[in-house]
Amino acid sequence: MPHPLLDCARIDVLPEAFLPTVGEVFAVFARSQDSGNHSYGVRVGAERFFVKTAGPPDGLGGSLSHAERVALLRNAASLHTSFRHPALPRLHTLIESPAGPMLVYAWVDGELLGVPRERRGDPSSPYQRFRALPVATICHSLDTLYELHGALGRAGWVAADFYDGCLIYNFAAEALAVIDIDMYHHGPFVNTRGRMFGSERFMAPEEFVRGATIDGRSSVFTMGRTALLFLGDGTLNPTAFRGPPTLYAVLARACDPEPVRRFPSLEAFWSAWRVARAP
């Protein structure tokens, strides 16, 4: 018997009209999507799915046009169909609709670590609860993140618009998942915007410079800054860093303002991190 969602290739109505006909829409993510995407949690029988769309073609979007959002969803589909990792939610299928592609992912249990600026200092927020975990537990999640990005780097992908809002953490299972990597780019590219999309807390200096090259060294900076935010105060202040000196040395090189002084690739960064983590 065909699956009402997974065995569908094309629909003739908008996603918001179609999804309630195949299951229960138990969550809607619209206003929270800065880009203008609309996403849904959908339950079909005992299965749960995360369905991401570009939003209505004639609706007021966020920071991107509808055409740009469609292009990024197709980019995400390209990444997910060519590359798999346990930390990436599985992309089950892509359904064409009058509003562009619908990407149907496996649902991931957990809490989004990225929270609004006004909640970042709240001890009850997922962000602060994660930062309050033991160093070893945080480092285990960073192992997952860096293993994934080492593999992505080998496959030619460059991180873009990565921040804590791309991370879902299941506190009970101590499991990290990486989502919303639609802007990742296959191969180095030139910064044509000046200030690129992303959170300044995670961005490399060249992501603010029009004409600068964005490549694996830029991704290395972002990954290093991620550890400094979760294990320190987000800077290279050694007194705020909770990890051992061996890890601090790796992060200091990763977050050097000059790209040529950083690790040359995500794979090289991941290798150095593993050596520093070894007992």
Q: Are residues 84 and 156 in the same domain?
A: no
Residue at 235: amino acid letter? T
Q: Does residue 3 lie in a domain region?
A: no
Calculated CA dihedral for residues 264, 265, 270, 272, nearest 10 degrees: -10
Q: What is the CATH number of the domain that holds 76?
A: 3.30.200.20
Instruction: State the CB neighbour count (10 A cutoff) for residue 198.
Output: 19
> How high is the pLDDT of residue 92?
97
- Report angle CA 50, 55, 57 to the nearest 5 degrees: 150
User: Is 165 exposed, middle or buried (CB count within 10 Å of its CB: 0-12, 13-18, 19+)?
Assistant: buried
Q: Are residues 97 and 30 in the same domain?
A: yes
Q: Does residue 5 lie in a domain region?
A: no
d(CA 233, CA 29) in angstroms, rounded, equals 30
Tell me which H or E stretch contains 268: helix 266-277
Integer distance in angstroms from the first to the last C-alpha of the chain?
A: 53
- Answer positive or negative: Cα dihedral of 116, 117, 118, 124: positive
DSSP string, 228-267: HHHHSSSS--GGG--S-HHHHHHHHHHT-SSGGGS-SSHH
CB contact at 8 A, 238 and 231 = no
How do residues 45-98 score in pLDDT, each as one tens digit?
Answer: 999 999 999 998 876 656 788 999 999 999 999 999 999 999 999 999 999 999
Q: Does residue 2 lie in a domain region?
A: no
d(CA 98, CA 79) in angstroms, rounded, equals 23
Residue 108, Cα to own-chain centre: how many angstroms? 13
Which two tokens mark 279? 């007992």
Choose the final residue of a domain: 78, 106, 134: 106
Q: Does residue 208 lie in a domain region?
A: yes
Q: What is the pLDDT along the chain (279 residues), one digit of tens a residue?
A: 889 999 999 999 999 999 999 999 999 987 655 678 999 999 999 999 999 999 988 766 567 889 999 999 999 999 999 999 999 999 999 999 999 999 999 999 999 999 999 999 999 999 999 999 999 999 999 999 999 999 999 999 999 999 999 999 999 999 999 999 999 999 999 999 999 999 999 999 999 999 999 999 999 999 999 999 999 999 999 999 999 999 999 999 999 999 999 999 999 999 999 999 987
Choose the final residue of a domain: 106, 124, 157: 106
> What's the domain range around 27?
15-106
Q: Which residue has the tokens 């970042």?
A: 120
Q: What is the CATH number of the domain that holds 273?
A: 1.10.510.10
Domain count of the chain?
Answer: 2
Choose the final residue of a domain: 81, 106, 131: 106
Q: Does residue 44 lie in a domain region?
A: yes
- Rg of the chain over Cα atoms, rounded to whole angstroms, equals 19
